[in-house]
Chain A
Amino acid sequence: MHALAQPESESAWLSPWRRLRRDRIGMISLGVVLAYFAMILAATLDLVSRDWSREVGVPYASPSFLGRQPNPEASPAEGVPRPGGAPPDLSAVDPLAPKYAEWARRTAELKSGEAERAASLPWGGDRWGRDVLDKAIKGSQVSIAVGVAAALCATLIGTLLGAMAGFHGGRADDLLEWVYNVFTSIPGILLVFALAAVLRSGWLGKVFAEGIWMVVIILAVTGWTGMYRLVRAEYLKHRAREYVRAAEAIGASAASRMFAHILPNVSHVILIQLSLLVVAFIKVEVILSFLGLGVPVDMVSWGTMLAEAQTELVIGKWWQLTAATAFMAVFLTAFSMLTDSLRDALDPRLR
C-alpha cells in the first residue's frame, strides 16, 4: 500500500488491516475465502473442472474410498430379448434396398467407440456418471459468481439511491422513500417470483436466456433496499458534518461532495453490508436454482446439485448431497465469520 511510504500518517485502510491481522478466526476465514476464489479463478480459466459435464464414470459411480460397491443402477437394463434367426429377405419390395450398401460403407468410416467408464470416482458420480467433485467445483464457481455479482449490482443501486436521498433530502428523499416503502411492503419472495415469471416469459428472457444474468438481475432488483436504508442514514449523518461544509465552502460540487468526500467515509458500512448481501444472495440463488428458476439448465450450481440430490438420496446415493452441502457450508461459514471480523476491524466502536 502507498501509505507504507509515509509512515507518519497511516492510511484509513491500514489500521483496520492491522486489526484484522491480529484476529485469528478472521485470518483463517480470509484464507478459506481466498482459497475458494483461487479455485473459482482456476475453474473460470478452465484449469480445473473443464470437463464437468463429461460422463466419465458409470451412472451413480460410488466414491473411491468406499471400494467396490454393488451398483445396480450402472448395469444396463435388461431389454426385450432380440428375436433369433436371420431377418427375412425383403430386398425385392424394400424401396431403400439400393441404399443399404452405401450406408454400410459410410457407417464404417465413422468410429463410435464405447468410452471407458470408471466404476468409481473420487467423490462418486451422478445419474449420468459425471464426476461429483468436478460438479461441486463448477457449482461453486457459478453460485459464488451469482452471489458476488448480484451483491455488487444491489450495492450500486442501493448506494446511488441512498446517497441521493440522504444527501439531497426534500423531494428526492420523499420520492425515494416512497419507492423504498413500495419495494419493502411486498414480501421478498413474492417479488422474486413475480420478477422470475415476468423475465422468463417476457422479452428480457430472450436477451438473457444464457448465463447467470437473469438471476443476478432478479436478486439485485429485489435486494437493494437494505443497502439503501443504511447508506441513506449515513449520508443524512455526514452531510452536515464540518468536513463536508468545508468542502462546500471551497466550491466542491454536490456530486463531488457526495462521492469524493462522503463516500470514502461511509465505505466501511457499504463493504460490510456488501458481504452480508453475498451470503444472503448465495442462499437465495441456491433455492431459486433448486426450483428451476435460477441458472439455466446447462449450468451447474449448488442449487441444481441439491435438486438432483433429492431424488438420489431416496436410492441411497448420498455423495452429491454431501459434496454440495459441504462446499456451500464451508464457504458460507468462512465468509460469514470474515464479515464479522471485518466489522470488528473496520468499525471498532460497533463491537
Chain B
Amino acid sequence: MVPTLAGVILLIFFLFRAFGGDPAEILAGQVASAEQIEAIRRELGLDRPWTAQLWIFVRGILAFDFGRSWITREAVSDIFLTRLPATLTITIPIVLLEVFLALPIAMLVAYFRGSLLDRLATALSVGAMSVSFLVYIIVGQYLLAFEWGLFPVQGWGDSAWKNLLTYAPLPVLLAALVSLAPQIRLYRSFFLDETKADYVRTARAKGLSEPAIMAKHVLRNAMIPVLTNVALLLPGVFAGSFLLEIFFSIPGLGREVYLAVNRSDYPVIQAFTVYLAVLTMLVNLAADVLYRLVDPRIQFR
C-alpha cells in the first residue's frame, strides 16, 4: 500500500508539473505584471528545485494541509471534510438499494433460467444499459420532479434527515434503477455458477424443492462473489455520484472536483485525487478483511 501511495503522489505531482499550466500565471489572472507573477512564484516555492517542490507537496499531504483553494481561498481540507457527508448521503443508499433490489430479482431470473422471462430480462438489460445515464437523469428529473412534482427538482439543506428524506430520494432512485440492469446480469451468473455445483445435486437427490434449494443453499454460496462485487462497488461511494451531484446541485465531492476542473483550481483537484485514492485503498483493505471473515477458506498469501 505504501509504494502504491507513493506512486499516486508521484503521478499527480509530475502530471501537474509536466503538463499543467504555470500555477503562478493561473493565479495571477489575465492582467498581472511580471513582478506579481514572480512574487506568487516565490510564495508557492516554484523558484526552488523540483525536489524541494515535491517535498512541499508530500508534507502537505501528510499534514492534511493542502493550503487554500486558488479561487475561493477556502482551506482544501475543510472543503474535503464538509463535502464528504453530502456525497455519502446519496451514495451509501444507492449501494444498499441496488444490492438489495438486484439480489431477489437475479435469483428469480436464475430460477427461471432459459425461459422467456430470463431472455426478456437479458434483452431489456442490454437495451437499458445502452442508453446513457445522462438520459435517465434528464428525463427522470424532468418527469418525476418538474412535471409531476413528486420530488424537489434540486436542492440541499443543512439538516441531514431532511437531505436524506427529501432531496436524496430522486437521485438515489435514478442511480439505483440504472445500475440495476448490469447488477442483475452479474448476480444471475453468480447464481447460475452455483446451480451446477455438486451440493445442489445432492440437495435435489434428497428431495428438496427447487425454491428451497435456491433460497437456502444456492443463495448462501452465491453470497461470496456477491460480497466481492459489493466490495468493488464501495470505492465508487466517494466519487461515483458526481453526475447526480451536478444535476441536483448537491454540494458533494464530485461536484466540487468538477467545479475545480472548470476553474483550474489545482490544489483542490490534487488533494481530492490523493485523498480519495487513500480512502479507496483503505476501503479495499477493509473489504479484504471482511471477506476473510465471511469465507474462512480464503487465505492471504
- A residues with a Cβ closer than 8 A to B are 178-179, 181-183, 185-187, 189-191, 193-205, 283, 286-287, 290-293, 302-303, 306, 309-310, 313-314, 321, 325, 328-333, 336-337
Contacts and interface: CB of A to CB of B under 8 A. Distances in A.
Please provide the 4 A-B residue pairs with the shortest distance between their CB atoms, ordered closest to farther. Answer: A182-B7, A332-B130, A201-B21, A201-B264
Contact of B3 (A178, A328, A336): A178
Nearest to B16: A198
Given A290-B134, A306-B135, A325-B131, A198 B20 contact: yes
A197 B4 contact: no
A197 B276 contact: no
Contacts of A291: 246, 258
Given A189-B239, A190-B257, 5 more contacts: A187-B236, A194-B273, A203-B21, A293-B261, A306-B132
B15 interface: yes
B112 interface: no
B142 A336 contact: no
Contacts of B261: 193, 196-197, 200, 293
22 contacts: A178-B4, A181-B4, A182-B4, A183-B11, A187-B238, A187-B240, A187-B277, A194-B269, A195-B15, A197-B20, A201-B264, A202-B21, A283-B133, A287-B134, A291-B246, A291-B258, A306-B135, A314-B142, A321-B139, A328-B132, A329-B127, A333-B130
A287 B133 contact: yes
Contacts of B21: 201-203, 205
Interface of A is mostly: helix
A341 B7 CA distance: 39
A303 B12 CA distance: 28
Contacts of A330: 130
B277 A185 contact: yes
B138 A204 contact: no
A329 B239 contact: no
Contacts of B260: 193, 197
Interface in B187-241: 235-236, 238-240
B71 to A, nearest CB: 13
A328 B130 contact: yes
A73 B3 CA distance: 59
A190 B273 contact: yes
A203 B238 contact: no
Given A187-B238, A201-B26, A306 B4 contact: no
Contacts of B127: 329, 333
Given A189-B254, A313-B138, A198 B4 contact: no
Contact of A186 (B132, B146, B236, B276): B276
A193 B258 contact: yes
A186 B273 contact: yes
Interface string B234-255: 0110111011001000000010
B245 to A, nearest CB: 12
B257 A193 contact: yes
Nearest to A290: B134
Interface string B1-30: 001110110011001100111000010000
A289 to B, nearest CB: 10
Interface string B95-136: 000000000000000000000000000000011011111110
Given A182-B8, A185-B8, A286-B132, A201 B273 contact: no
Interface string B158-177: 00000000000000000000
B51 interface: no
Interface of B: 3-5, 7-8, 11-12, 15-16, 19-21, 26, 126-127, 129-135, 138-139, 142, 146, 235-236, 238-240, 242-243, 246, 254, 257-258, 260-262, 264, 266, 269-270, 272-273, 276-277, 280-281
Nearest to A174: B3
Contacts of B270: 194
B11 A182 contact: yes
A198 B19 contact: yes
A333 B124 CA distance: 10
User: Counting chain B CB atoms within 10 Å of each CB, which of A183, A194, A196 scores highest?
Assistant: A194
Contact of B19 (A185, A199, A321): A199
Contacts of B235: 187
A313 B20 CA distance: 37
Contacts of A314: 142, 146
Contacts of A329: 127, 130-131
Given A190-B276, A193-B261, A325 B135 contact: yes
Contact of A179 (B7, B134, B240): B7
Given A182-B4, A194-B269, A329-B127, A202 B257 contact: no
A201 B20 contact: yes
A197 B277 contact: no
B132 A302 contact: yes
A313 B143 CA distance: 10
Contact of A310 (B16, B138, B257, B269): B138
Nearest to A279: B130
Nearest to A286: B132
Contacts of A197: 20, 260-261, 264, 266, 269
Contacts of A293: 261
B205 to A, nearest CB: 27
Contacts of A333: 126-127, 130
A306 B141 CA distance: 14
Contacts of B5: 185
Contacts of B138: 306, 309-310, 313, 321
Nearest to A328: B132
B154 to A, nearest CB: 12
